[in-house]
Structure 1
Amino acid sequence: MTAAYSPLISQSKAVRVASWALRLLSAAVFLAAGGAKIAGVPMMVAIFDQVGFGQWFRVLTGIVEVGGAIALLVTASTAFGALTLAVTMVFAVLTHLFLIGGNPLPAVVLLAMTGTVAWLHRRSFAVILDALR
């Protein structure tokens, strides 16, 4: 990796600002939601009772969300954190549509946000995979 390396496809200031805004907002949401899951907030316990996989799945989901949120804020891991959270939101949307009902729109919005961040930082995937070879 050279000193001029940037994980963003575009170097424009607008794209960098948009990326940071999406990263910060997404990280805040996922830290709050993941923390609530890990802490066992009664609403989260009830939702995961409806899902039917057990409370271990609530804790695992919370850990993934908190870990992904932290990864969003670390430039070297932004792309992987965003991809992890986007995939998590795909399953959240499917869970709302097919298991528990309710409005999937918040998960769809978070999917769009994290998917956009992953796309903006897609160069990171190739750079890191090349470094592993």
Structure 2
Amino acid sequence: MTILSVILQCLLIFAFSFSGASKIAGASMQVQVFNHLKIPQWFRIVTGFVQLAGVVGLVAGFWDTGMLSLAALWIACTMLGAVLFHMRAGDSFKQFGAPLLLTLLSLTLALLHI
């Protein structure tokens, strides 16, 4: 495993641990984002668990690179969905730039291990 891979892996674990947990906990920012995107609140909770499942896969990826690739692709698909929902809502690039960046970082991590 390269140092770039470990850095990306740790960054994604950190980002999605907080993102997933805040969605499940119902942080006001997350509730507002899902309202803005016209996505039901139950889907916010599902998304939080999907993200935390990705985190579990990323952590397991320290020992199993196949799991790491799958988890990174899992996260990338989740974030691609976020980008598409923001685009559907007519948001500017500034509003979906972070999800797009996380999509690209996740894809990069997956490609490093395929």
What is the TM-score with the length of structure 2 in the denominator? 0.87
Corresponding pairs, count: 108
Q: Distance in 2 between matches of 1:95 and 1:121?
A: 28
User: Could you tell me which residue of structure 2 aligns to residue 53 of structure 1?
Assistant: 39
Query: Is 1:35–1:66's contact at 8 Å kept on the other side of the alignment?
Result: yes
Structure with greater contact order relative to length (CA < 8 Å, sep ≥ 6): 1
Give matches, 1:17-56, under 5 Å: 17-56=3-42
Runs of 4+ in 1 over 2 A off after TM superposition: 50-53
Q: Distance in 1 between matches of 2:6 and 2:59?
A: 8
Query: Is 2:60–2:68's contact at 8 Å kept on the other side of the alignment?
Result: yes
Which of 1 and 2 has greater Rg? 1
Give matches, 1:1-133, under 5 Å: 16-75=2-61, 76=64, 77-99=67-89, 101-102=91-92, 103-122=95-114
Query: Is 1:35–1:62's contact at 8 Å kept on the other side of the alignment?
Result: yes
Cα offset for 1:53?
Answer: 3.0
Matched residue type, 1:115: L
Query: Is 1:31–1:65's contact at 8 Å kept on the other side of the alignment?
Result: yes
Runs of 5+ consecutive residues of structure 1 not aligned to the other structure: 1-14, 123-133
Matched residue type, 1:97: M
Cα offset for 1:100?
Answer: 5.9
How big is the alpha-carbon RMSD for the aligned residues of Structure 1 and Structure 2?
Answer: 1.4
